[in-house]
Amino acid sequence: MVNQESRLNSLITQLILGIWAIAVIFPMLWMIFSSFKTDQELFFSPWAAPKELQWDNFARAWTNAHVGDFFFNTLLVVIPALLLTLIISAMAAYVLARFEFLGNRAVFYLFLAGMLFPVFLALVPLFSLVNNLGLLNTFVGLILVYVAYSLPFTIFFLTGFFKTLPSELEEAAIIDGANEYQVFFRVMLPLAAPGLISMGIFNFLGMWNQYILPLVLVTKEEKYVLSQGLYFMLAKQFYQNDWSALFAALTIIMVPTLIVYIIFQKQIQSGLTTGALKG
């Protein structure tokens, strides 16, 4: 009796979880299938598998619709921005966590204050500032802005992290004759690797998917990053009607994300959830 009941329970559980799994997976599978179809098939046989794999959809998306260019633009912005964010934040966090000096708390709370405001409040002044600096429509402008807006949370997180590190190694290095810079770069930074990896993943996803900042700061098509490039492709579809290429573009964006996610899912999940709840 008890056994039967628990078997029924687990059947219901599997059913519910299975339905949600299908709800999550199905739209993506449909997208991948559709990206191999002709426009004809898209409209008239939505449920059938593609008759022939239309690799040409991907070629059109990559070159004609410039997804390739957007992809490289994104890399050119995100990689330098990410490295700069990590090194600048680590230096500031190290000092804030391990040195006592006048104004230490004040500086820490000043950075914290940045997390309080919504980015929408800064859009107009930021647009005008970046324009005055001559950095509108430049990768440098976008990189500096990405770094600046990633600093508050990254510094907050890494300060906490540096505080937990033991001081014995630091002292041993000083006794061995290392100077302050060597202590940081050779001893403390390697020790902080797990924290840097968490923040690296968190910021990478945030920057890769960043939408509102490039929308405001980049208005020339040849400088578009992926997110806004995709959006303008969609907007154009209304008169160009190349749906299959748009499906292919979506697949190009989503499949690498999926692969990276499956490999690093543990780190990504913990990076994103701690990011959200402490922030």
Partner 1 sequence: MHRQKYRLIIPFLAPALILYGTFVLYPYIQAMYIAFTSWKGLRKAPRFVGLDNFQKLLSDDHFWNALYHNAIYVITLPILTLGLALFLAFMITQKVRFSSFYRVTFFFPQVMSVVAIGILWSFVYHPSIGILNSFLKLIGIGNPPVWLGDPHTALGAIAAVTVWQAAGFYMVIFMAGMQSIPSSYYEAAALDGAKRGDIFFKITLPLLWETTRSALVFIVINAMNMFGITFTMTIGEAGPDLSTDVLSTLLYREAFTHSRFGYSTAIAMAYFIIVMFLSFVLMRLTRRQTIEF
Tell me which residues in 40-79 interact with partner 1 (CB under 8 A): 42-43, 46-47
Q: Between residues 59 and 259, which has the closer beta carbon with respect to partner 1?
A: 259
Minimum Å distance from CB 229 to partner 1? 9
Q: Assign residue 213 a region (left: φ > 0; alpha: ψ between -120 and 50; beta: otherwise).
A: alpha
Residue of 17, 59, 259, 263 interacting with partner 1 (CB under 8 A): 17
Asked if 8 interacts with partner 1 (CB under 8 A), we say: no
Chain positions 105 to 134 lying near partner 1, rule: CB under 8 A, are 107, 110-111, 113-114, 116-118, 120-129, 131
Which residues inside 23-42 make contact with partner 1, applying CB under 8 A? Answer: 23-28, 30-31, 34, 42
Whether the CB-CB separation of 86 and 154 falls below 8 Å is answered with: yes
Q: Which amino acid belongs to residue 132?
A: N
142's CB contacts (< 8 A; 6+ apart) are 77, 81, 213, 214, 217, 218, 225
CB nearer to partner 1: pick between 164 and 269: 269
CB of 276 to partner 1, least distance (A): 6
CA distances from 99 to 104, 180, 277 (A): 8, 12, 27
Report in angstroms how near the CB of residue 161 gets to partner 1 at its nearest: 16
Region binding partner 1 by CB under 8 A among candidate stretches 50-58, 61-69, 185-193, 202-210: 202-210
Alpha carbon distance 252, 71 (integer Å): 10
Q: Which residue has the tokens 């006794």?
A: 175
- If one asks whether residue 172 binds partner 1 (CB under 8 A), the answer comes out as no
Residue 239 makes contact with partner 1 by CB under 8 A: no
Contact stretch for partner 1 (CB under 8 A) within 51-59, 61-69, 188-196, 228-236: 228-236
Q: Tell me the C-alpha distance between 45 and 56, whole Å.
A: 19
Among 77, 86, 199, 253, binds partner 1 (CB under 8 A): 253
Judged by CB under 8 A, the chain residues 174 through 193 that form the site for partner 1 are: 174, 180-181, 184
11 residue type, one letter: L
Selected binder of partner 1 within 68, 138, 139, 148 (CB under 8 A): 148
Torsion sign across C-alpha atoms 255, 257, 259, 265: negative
3-class secondary structure for 56-87?
HHHHHHHHHCCHHHHHHHHHHHHHHHHHHHHH
By CB under 8 A, how many residues form the interface with partner 1? 94
241 touching partner 1, by CB under 8 A: no
User: Exposure pattern of 188-219 as b/e (b: 16+ CB <10 Å)?
Assistant: bbebbeebbebbbbbbbbbbbebeebbbbbbe
Half-sphere exposure of 46 (CA within 13 A, CB side): 5
| 1 scored as a contact of partner 1 (CB under 8 A) | no
265 forms part of the interface with partner 1 (CB under 8 A) = yes
The verdict on 169 binding partner 1 (CB under 8 A) reads no
